[in-house]
Structure 1
């Protein structure tokens, strides 16, 4: 579990910065152009590695679940997040993103026969309380922002929760590298199709430093490396642990702001961080007895 938690921390740092990159890119690239660029760049990073390690490609490929998960985990939610950030702030988007573990737990309970212990439910709700403390209980300000932005962000988190459960059920025997590469290719195709019916990419606007940095950051790190980490955590620790990263993303976004922009960290943000970390621990900790029983089964 040490490797899983280390991957979880690294993923939160990458995705915390991704919301800043999305805000930078969505203007010149548009909603679906952002999806296409980040997915295509991530796929270009991983495909040579996958081709060099052909043994990682499974002999029996569950294509329908794999394509469905590609749409639900990259193409659709990343487009919705980009649309959301055209009308709400990146920090608000990252806060709403923290509802993902609740959707994952509820979807698992309703459709995948998953059972969550009382301790895990307490941990999930502690995470939400930590988010409220993090924003100093200013939910009115969040609710007053454009509802389309809030609504699309919540639909994106619902997609994440569904794809996490589908990944555990159908892709347990598929390699992490293969699953990630195919998911990004599917996401790029979704973005390309979306571009045909919406705003085209402003190629001239892409030729500047911040936008190029955003493409590299979103594609190579926020999509390629981050997706590898996410699927690794899902397979090794379970979907509840994987999506608990969304509790940490607002925190890492705050830390990136303090480090890169010298933004001040408030006391309520620190207290919120402590409650969030406690919630993540409770929601993801597995009983040793349960683990030993499952291993002997």
Structure 2
């Protein structure tokens, strides 16, 4: 357990800073350029490790599940997060990202035969109350012109929830390094497709020191190393344990955002964070799997 909790703390520090790096990269790279560069840099770290260790037999790899997890755990949500940060602060994005365990619990009920206790349902309701507080009670904005920002962040967290359950159900026996590598390769493809329909990357930005620093931080650490830690936690501790990293990420992201981006901290933001945390705590305990009967 000490290794699991060590990975949890380290990953929270890395991903907390990732929200700041996304802000740095958005202007020169665009939404899908951020996804492409983030995944490509991570792949550059992981593929040599995978080749050195030895590529598994091609036919023994569950490619369909790996690609699906790549889309839902990297390509699509990372694009949505970058898109969100064109409208909201990085600290707000990180707080909304903390709702991932709540969505994971709901998805478990709907798609993976998980039963929740009364306490967990109370936690889910509390989590949604926290989101409403963050939105300043303007829920209708999600269904109008202000969907980009809070709405796109919530869709990203739903993707994470599906990916976590699918990984635990179908990829528990797959090597962590292979899972992380295929996930990021899939993200590279998604990023390329996105850029084909939007905008490309400014070549002048490649020579900017801050751009290079953010790219290394987001790609090498926030993608390559981070996903090794994340998939290790899923396989060793379970999907629910892994997504609990979102408890800690907002705290580190708020600090990084205030120090590096001079983002404001409001009482409403802190109240919303507290309520969401309370909801996460209640909703991620005592999960029971439905018993199946053999006839």
What's the TM-score bracket when you normalise by the shorter of the two chains? 0.7 to 0.9
Q: Secondary structure at the match of 1:147?
A: coil
Whether the 8 Å CA contact 2:91–2:257 is kept in 1: the answer is no
TM-aligned CA distance change 1:109 to 1:57, over 3 Å: farther
Residue 249 (structure 1) shift: 1.7
Match of 2:61 in 1: 61
Whether the 8 Å CA contact 1:75–1:190 is kept in 2: the answer is yes
Residue segments in structure 2 that go unaligned for 5+ positions in a row: 289-295
Residue 241 (structure 1) shift: 1.6
Match of 2:45 in 1: 45
1:97 aligns with 2:97: yes
Match of 1:113 in 2: 113
User: Following the alignment from structure 1 to structure 2, what is the Cα–Cα distance between the partners of residues 79 and 158?
Assistant: 14
TM-aligned CA distance change 1:175 to 1:201, over 3 Å: same
1:160-216 deviation line (CA, Å, top 9, x unaligned): 111111111110110111000010001001101211121011111232111111111
What does residue range 65-76 of structure 1 map to in structure 2 within 5 Å?
Answer: 65-76=65-76
User: Following the alignment from structure 1 to structure 2, what is the Cα–Cα distance between the partners of residues 280 and 7?
Assistant: 19
1:72-121 deviation line (CA, Å, top 9, x unaligned): 11011111111111122212211221221111111111111123445555
Whether the 8 Å CA contact 1:102–1:124 is kept in 2: the answer is yes
TM-aligned CA distance change 1:119 to 1:234, over 3 Å: farther
Further displaced range: 259-268 or 117-126:
259-268
Q: Secondary structure at the match of 2:200?
A: coil
1:33 aligns with 2:29: no
Q: Secondary structure at the match of 2:231?
A: helix
Residue 243 (structure 1) shift: 1.6
Further displaced range: 41-50 or 111-120:
111-120
1:51-77 deviation line (CA, Å, top 9, x unaligned): 111166786211111111111110111
Whether the 8 Å CA contact 1:88–1:146 is kept in 2: the answer is no
Output the TM-score relative to the length of structure 2: 0.83
Whether the 8 Å CA contact 1:100–1:160 is kept in 2: the answer is yes
TM-aligned CA distance change 1:69 to 1:258, over 3 Å: same
Give the structure with the higher percent helix: 1
Further displaced range: 70-79 or 144-153:
144-153
What does residue range 56-205 of structure 1 map to in structure 2 within 5 Å?
Answer: 60-118=60-118, 120-121=120-121, 138=136, 146-205=146-205
What does residue range 202-241 of structure 1 map to in structure 2 within 5 Å?
Answer: 202-241=202-241
Residue segments in structure 1 that go unaligned for 5+ positions in a row: 291-297
User: Following the alignment from structure 2 to structure 1, what is the Cα–Cα distance between the partners of residues 2 and 138?
Assistant: 38
User: Following the alignment from structure 1 to structure 2, what is the Cα–Cα distance between the partners of residues 9 and 30?
Assistant: 30
Match of 2:248 in 1: 248
Give RMSD over aligned pairs: 3.2
Whether the 8 Å CA contact 1:56–1:177 is kept in 2: the answer is no
Further displaced range: 2-11 or 254-263:
254-263
Residue 24 (structure 1) shift: 0.9
TM-aligned CA distance change 1:272 to 1:156, over 3 Å: closer
1:3-36 deviation line (CA, Å, top 9, x unaligned): 2222122111111111111111011111111100
Q: Secondary structure at the match of 1:86?
A: coil
1:105-152 deviation line (CA, Å, top 9, x unaligned): 11111111123445555566666777889x6x95559x6993222221
Output the TM-score relative to the length of structure 1: 0.82
Residue 49 (structure 1) shift: 0.6
Residue 272 (structure 1) shift: 7.9
What is the number of residues matched between the two proteins?
A: 286
Q: Secondary structure at the match of 2:215?
A: helix
